[in-house]
Every structure is written in C-alpha cells, then in structure tokens.
Amino acid sequence: MKSLWNEAEAVQMASDMEQRVYSSRLLGGVPELVLHGGGNTSVKITQPNLYGEDETLLYVKGSGHDLATIDADGFAPLRLAPVLRLAELEALSDEEMANQLRVNLTRADAPDPSVEAILHALIPHKFVDHTHSDAILAVTNTPGGVDHIREIYGDSVVIVPYAMPGFELARTCAQILPGAMTDQTRSVVLMQHGLFTFGDTARESYGRMIDLVTLAEDYLASQKAWTISLPDMPMPAAELR
C-alpha cells in the first residue's frame, strides 16, 4: 500500500486539528482501508475550558461523517476524563453509552461521537487512526488468525480478541490495553474487525497504518492469498450486451 502523505501539502496544515483532517482524508480516500463512512480517527488536544482550566478533549470522528471528506466540524469534542471513566464500568448498555458520550461533549451542536470513541480514549497517544483494512481482515478472519498476526508483526502489536463493537469492545480493550501496551507497541489489532495505529504526530500514526497494512498485504501475497488469477473464459453473450 502506497503512502499518500505529501509533506509539501502537510506543512500547510499548521494546527493539530488541520493535521487531523489532512491524514483522515488520506485514509478515507482508500477503499482498501475504509469503505464509505467506515473507520474513524481522533486527536487529543489540551486547551483552556470556560473557567480557564486546562482540559484535554478527545476530538473523535462524528457518526455519519465520511473520512474522505471530513472537516473540523465533523469531529465531536469529548471531555477525555469522564469518557475514560466509562471504560471502568462493569457494564453499560449501548444506549446509555451513546447518551453518556453525548452529555460529555463541549459543543451542543456537535455530531454524535463514533461508537468507538472510548477505544480512542484508551489509547494514550495524541493521534489515533482506526481502519477496517481488507488485508488485516483477510488475515484475522481465517483459522489460526492470531498466529498469522504474530508471524507478521511479532510482539509489536497488541491483539484483542473479537468483541461486539460498542461497550463490550470498549470494556475488553480497557481490560487488555493498559497492561499490554509498551513503548514498542505500534498497533492494536482487533480480531475480525480491523486495527488501530497511533503516534505523537498525524504523520507517525498514518505512516504506521500504511506500513502495517503493507506488511499484511505482502504476507498474503507470499501465501498466494492476495490476488486471485481467474482462468481465461469466453464472456457469455448475455454479459456482452
């Protein structure tokens, strides 16, 4: 997979939010990473609140927005601390999770935050990218998928077993990630779902996404499982019309 990062364009994007928008669009324009409306990204920004106190906000993609065309208004500004506390709960209905995310917004007219917002909160890095990459799904959705992921990435990724997206997945990640992530961790792979990459900069997180997906593509190619060569068949007359 080719990186679409263009440093000449990227340097024009001065703020963290502009960087967030820039690389989100790069990810969103590639159907092998996200289909229309799929995937989500975030950035954590510390800024003064109404009372002049520093507060860290998680700007996460709003539901209904497409990464390919998203702009700053498409990100929902969430107070990070109360969102992280949600992950400590034993159980929470998906309806109440959506409600709690809504009431922890700092802007009343913001879009509903992605249902994967808590996962973005749990990853401590500033920039977080999440895709449902075809290559990752092809590897994880096979028998022995965990072994294949380990063969490709070694210990540089944390593997999370499948859980239903929503609070169940957030809770699973809350139990696994804090003890499993190290300074060497480059990604969190969600079995039968996709992957997260992250970094201190938009470029670092995006670059990791491209690098890790490329490794999965190369692995699949080495197993003769990435391209399918069909035999030459005469086209039926009906399809030539």
Site for Zn ion, rule CB under 5 A: 194
Give the nearest residue (CB) to Zn ion. Answer: 194
In this complex, which beta carbon is closest to Zn ion, that of residue 191 or of residue 236?
191
Q: Please, what is the minimum distance in Å from the beta carbon of residue 233 to Zn ion?
A: 37
In this complex, which beta carbon is closest to Zn ion, that of residue 35 or of residue 225?
35
Q: Please, what is the minimum distance in Å from the beta carbon of residue 159 to Zn ion?
A: 15
Cα angle value 113/202/162 (rounded, 5°)? 55
3-class DSSP state of 16: helix
Pairwise CA distance, residues 88 & 83, whole Å: 10
Distances (CA, A) of 127 to 16, 54, 144, 230: 9, 19, 31, 41
DSSP letter assigned to residue 13: -
Distances (CA, A) of 233 to 121, 227, 237: 51, 18, 12
Q: Please, what is the minimum distance in Å from the beta carbon of residue 130 to Zn ion?
A: 6
Q: Please, what is the minimum distance in Å from the beta carbon of residue 131 to Zn ion?
A: 8
In this complex, which beta carbon is closest to Zn ion, that of residue 145 or of residue 194?
194
- Count helices and strands (H / E) in the chain: 10, 7
In this complex, which beta carbon is closest to Zn ion, that of residue 62 or of residue 194?
194
Q: Please, what is the minimum distance in Å from the beta carbon of residue 232 to Zn ion?
A: 38
In this complex, which beta carbon is closest to Zn ion, that of residue 34 or of residue 152?
34
- Tally the residues of the chain: 241
